[in-house]
Amino acid sequence: MSSANRNPNALPVYVQIAELLIRDIAAGRLISGERLPPERELAADLNVSVGTLRKSLAELEKKGMLERIQGSGNYVRDTGTQNSVYGMFRLELPEGGGLPRADILSVDQVKKPIDLPEFGASDSGSRVRRMRYLNDTIIAVEEIWLDDSAGRIDQHLLSDSLYRYYQHQLGFWITRAEDRVSLGALPDWTPPDFTKPAGETVGYIERFSWSERPEPVEFSKTWFDPDRATYVQRLK
């Protein structure tokens, strides 16, 4: 059991299933034109009710990623993941895909430290530290900073997707992001149940994210275990 606080505001199950299928499509585990298994069989495989699965499939259909043919079945249509909750989440399991989720370690309103890169218009922000999973596999720890000028993060309302939180709670979208991928040492606050100890060198991502403003409103640092996850950027 993780030492982190299990998130009580996880995405609805039907949204989680829809996002899992979207990421499987993006990873090529589900091919455009492929017929999905019968709904009862797929629901059993995913351990959800048929009603929940049908809500998930309806979400994919609205995004243009599924064609439902009466009397024939449900067919995949790969149109990209731009409308996905996790469209900008670039880490995947080695075999592809995986549903992202998070344990919240802490949410604090603090002054930006001097070693933090410049972003936003304020000298303070919300700092979120989380441990990330793909399905049930621990893959990463991350530290996200949201500039105070964009709003403050309330831990009690925070879901697994920060970008969804920004949209629904703070009223803005992340429209683009810039990633810088390298190696880095795990921070000293790394949870003891992470896959590797604090100080060990792992994959490292720095990300600047923009809304409609000219300056970035968010900066994040992600340390990921390269034995368990791969950074993937697809161009379509």
Query: Digits of tens for pLDDT over the chain (236 positions)?
Result: 333 444 556 788 999 999 899 888 887 788 889 999 999 999 999 999 999 999 999 999 998 889 999 889 999 987 665 567 787 889 999 988 899 999 999 999 999 999 999 999 999 999 999 999 999 999 999 999 999 999 999 998 887 889 889 988 999 989 899 999 999 999 999 999 999 999 999 999 999 999 988 999 999 999 999 999 999 987 65
pLDDT of residue 10: 73
Residue 101 · residue 10 · CB < 8 Å: yes
Q: Per residue in 34-68, is it b (16+ CB within 10 Å) or e — as a string?
A: eebeeeeebbeebebeeebbbbbbebbeebebbee
- What local confidence, expressed as pLDDT, does residue 203 receive? 98
Distance CA 201, CA 197 (A): 9
Is the Cβ–Cβ distance between 65 and 23 less than 8 Å? no
Query: Looking at residue 160, what is its pLDDT?
Result: 80
3-state DSSP of 1-13: CCCCEECCCCCCH
Structure confidence at residue 2 (pLDDT)? 36
236 burial level (CB within 10 Å; 0-12, 13-18, 19+):
exposed
According to the model, what pLDDT value does residue 4 have?
A: 40
The dihedral built from the CA positions of residue 163, 166, 167 and 172, taken in this order, carries a sign that is: negative
Q: Specify whether the CB–CB gap between 228 and 137 falls below 8 A.
A: yes
- The reported pLDDT for the residue numbered 188 is 98
What distance in Å separates the CA atoms of residue 219 and residue 127, rounded to the nearest whole number? 10
